[in-house]
Amino acid sequence: MATEVVAVETPSLPKRAMTFYHDVIGEMKKVTWPDRPQVQQLSIGVILLSLFVGLVIWALDLLLQFGLVRLPAMLFGA
């Protein structure tokens, strides 16, 4: 039993680009954008979190530098 292969024509590139553009516009209309106070609040949260992570990394760097570099030098007199 043989099956018939049907060739499906794909639309041209400009037609696909226009379809994509219209789909993007349709999806962007569905997006609920944050208001100004929400953007400010979240921005401040990101900045504070970044500062906190930076401080933690700085503290770990100092701790490891002391434990792996300075302490052995003090103990063994390098």
**pTM exceeding 0.75:** no
pLDDT band for position 1 (cuts 50, 70, 90): low
Range of the domain at 55: 36-78
Q: Determine, yes or no, domain membership for 11.
A: no
Which amino acid, 16?
R
**Are the C-beta atoms of 33 and 25 separated by less than 8 Å?**
no
- Distance from C-alpha of 65 to C-alpha of 49, rounded to nearest angstrom: 24
Is residue 68 classed exposed, middle or buried when 0-12, 13-18 and 19+ CB atoms within 10 A define those classes?
exposed
Give the total number of structural domains in the chain.
1
pLDDT, tens only, 65-77: 998 888 888 888 7
pLDDT, tens only, 3-57: 887 777 888 999 999 999 999 999 999 999 999 999 999 999 999 999 999 999 9
